[in-house]
Structure 1
Amino acid sequence: MTTILVHIEGDEGQASRLAAAFDLARACQGHLVCLSVLPYAAYALGDPAMGAFPVTTLIDAVEARRGEERAAVEARLRREGLSWEWQSGDGDSADRLVEHARLADVVVMSAGPYARAAALKMGITGDVAVRAPAPVLAVPEAATRFDVAGPALVCWDGSQEAARTLRQAIPLLKLASGVTLLTVSEKDSPFTGRVAAAFLSRHGVAADVVERDAGAASVEQVIRSVAAERQASWLVQGAYGHSRVREMLFGGVTRGLLSDAPLPILMGH
C-alpha cells in the first residue's frame, strides 16, 4: 500500500490518524496524500462569535484557520522525513475523499464518535468505507500508533464484502507477525474460513483459523474477545451497509466495532 490518503481536518482524531499514516508509510515505503476539505458551510457560517462581521471578513478568518492548520501539519510531515503531498478541496468531505481514493491504496480516517458531531463523524467514515474504491483504515482517537507488523485478526463470514476486504488487506497481512481468521457461528457456505485461509496461503500468508459459536454473546462481543485473546494489533472487517446515509445503515457488528473501535480497523466494501 504505497499511496496513502489521509483525511486532514484539525479535529480530535487527527493526531491518531497522522500517527497511523506515518507508521503505515514507513512499513510500506509509502507516499502520503494529505487531503484537506473545507465544507461550503464553513464559508457561509464562519465562527458564530463573528456573526455580525462582513462576509469577506468571515471568509478571511476561515481561510486563515485553514492556512494555520496546513502549516502545522506540514511542519510535522517535514520532521517525519516521509514522502508526502498536500491536496485541498471544498464541499462535502466524504465526496472529496471518495474521489481522491480512485488513485489511493488506502484511506486513513478516524473511528468512533470522538468529536462534538459524533454521529456525523462516524457517518463520514462509514460513508467513505462503503463508497471508496480503496479500503479505509479507521483509527481510534486513543491510538498512538499502527503496529502493522503486529498480529492481525481477520473477521470472516464468506460475504462479498469480507472477501473484497480480505483481498485488499493482503499487502498488509504479509507484514503481520501472525494472522488469525475468525468465523463466528459460520453459515452453510462454500466460502468457509478454511477456504479463505487456503486462498491466503497461495499469497504467502499463513492464517490460523478460529471457529467460534456466539452462543449467548453477540458476534461483536466474540470478535472483541478473540482480538484480546490473540493480542491483535489491528482488525480486518468488511463494511456492511449502504452509502450516502450519514447515520450509516450498517449491520450491528460493523457499526458497533466502528463506533467504539478497540483497535485500528481496515474496512472495505
Structure 2
Amino acid sequence: MVYKSIFTALTDKALVKPLLEKASALAADYGAHLDVLCLGVDRTQVGYYYAGASAAVIQETMERTKAEAEELEELAKAELTKLGGRWSTDSAVAQLGDLGRHVAARSRFTDIAVLPTPYGEGRGLELEPVVEAAMFDGQVPVIVVPDAATPSAKPKRVVIAWNESREALDAIRAALPILITAENVHITVIDPPVHGPNRSDPGGMLAQYLSRHGIHAEIDVLSKTVPRISDVLRRHASEIGADMIVMGAYGHSRFREAILGGATRNMLEEANVPVFMSH
C-alpha cells in the first residue's frame, strides 16, 4: 500500500505554516492528497458552565470559536496555495471534550495523519486529544512531528521499537511503505525476556517477516541502562542517526499513561525525530 490520502488538523495559528509545510512535503513525496481540518476549539467547556450562565454568553463563545475556525481555514488556504500540490480544507467548531468525533469523521477515510507534538511549551490542551482521536477513533496511523524535524517518505534510517506486542506489530505493518524505502532498518529490542519462545533470537521472526517485503533489517538488542524505555530508544536513535522511530502506541490504558507516564507519552514529550505510531 502507498499512502494516497494524508490528514492533518489545525487548532493554532502559530502551527499553520510549520505543520502544513511538513504535511505538504510528505504528500508531495507520495503524490498524495492532503486533507486539512481547521478546528475552532471552545476551551471553556461551555457544556459544563456554572449554573445560571446566560444563553448570550454561550452564543458569544460559539461565535468567537467559529470565527477562529474560519480564520484558520483562510490562513491554511493561503499557505497551501503557496505550497502547491493537491489539497482540500474543511472547518468545524468543537468543545474540548468533543474533538474526537470531528477528528475521527475526517481522518478515518485517509491513510495516515501528520500531527504536531502535543506536549511542550506553547502547546494547547487540544493537541493530545487530536492525536488520540486520529489513532483510536479514526483508526489511522499517525506521524507525530517535532518542531525541528520534517517527515520523509524515504528516510535513510528507521528505528523500530519491538517488544512483541500487538500494538508494535500493527505499527510496523502500517509503516511498511516507509520501511520498504528506508536504507537501513533497525529492530530495537530492549531487555528481551529470558523466558519465552524467542529468547534465543529476539526480533528474529520479525526480521524474517520484513525480509519477505524486501527489507533487510538489523537487530539491536539493548539493555535498559536508564529508567525509561523512551530514553533508551531516543538515545539509540540519536547514536545511529535515525530519521524516524516506529512504535506501537499506548500499550497501557491511556489513563494510566497520562497519570503515570509511559513509553508513548514520554516519547511524544521529548522526541527529536518524527515518531510513527499506530494502535
**Do Structure 1 and Structure 2 share a fold, with TM-score over 0.5?**
yes
SS where residue 210 of structure 1 aligns?
Answer: strand
> Are the aligned partners of 2:191 and 2:223 in contact in 1 as well (CA < 8 Å)?
yes
1:87 maps to which residue?
A: 90
- How far did residue 118 of structure 1 move? 5.1
1:203 maps to which residue?
A: 213
Q: How large is the RMSD of aligned CA atoms in angstroms?
A: 3.0
Structure 2 matches for 1:84-123, cutoff 5 A?
84-91=87-94, 92-114=98-120, 116=122, 121-123=127-129
- How far did residue 41 of structure 1 move? 5.4
CA distance in 2, matches of 1:250, 1:132: 25
| 71, 75, 88: which one aligns with 2:78 | 75
- How far did residue 114 of structure 1 move? 3.1
The reply to whether residue 177 of structure 1 matches residue 183 of structure 2 is yes
- How far did residue 139 of structure 1 move? 1.2
Identity %: 26
Write the letter of the residue equivalent to 2:68. Answer: R
- How far did residue 66 of structure 1 move? 2.5
SS where residue 174 of structure 1 aligns?
Answer: helix
TM-score, normalised relative to structure 1: 0.84
- How far did residue 160 of structure 1 move? 0.2
Gaps of 5+ in 1: 46-50
- How far did residue 250 of structure 1 move? 7.7
Structure 2 matches for 1:27-66, cutoff 5 A?
27-39=29-41, 59-66=62-69
2:222 maps to which residue?
A: 212
CA distance in 2, matches of 1:245, 1:251: 9
- How far did residue 242 of structure 1 move? 6.2
1:6 maps to which residue?
A: 8
1:266 maps to which residue?
A: 276
- Shift in CA distance, 55/215, structure 1 to aligned 2, threshold 3 Å: closer
Gaps of 5+ in 2: 48-53
Please give the per-residue CA displacement for 1:187-222, whole angstroms capped at 9, x wherever unaligned: 244464121111111112221111112145532221
1:148 maps to which residue?
A: 153
CA distance in 1, matches of 2:75, 2:45: 21
CA distance in 2, matches of 1:32, 1:81: 11
CA distance in 2, matches of 1:118, 1:62: 15
CA distance in 1, matches of 2:252, 2:14: 26
TM-score, normalised relative to structure 2: 0.81
SS where residue 152 of structure 1 aligns?
Answer: strand
- Shift in CA distance, 196/112, structure 1 to aligned 2, threshold 3 Å: same
- How far did residue 20 of structure 1 move? 2.2
CA distance in 2, matches of 1:86, 1:119: 23
Write the letter of the residue equivalent to 2:190. Answer: V
SS where residue 240 of structure 1 aligns?
Answer: coil
1:48 maps to which residue?
A: none
- Shift in CA distance, 256/56, structure 1 to aligned 2, threshold 3 Å: closer
- How far did residue 93 of structure 1 move? 2.2
- Corresponding pairs, count: 262
Deviates more, 1:242-251 or 1:63-72: 242-251
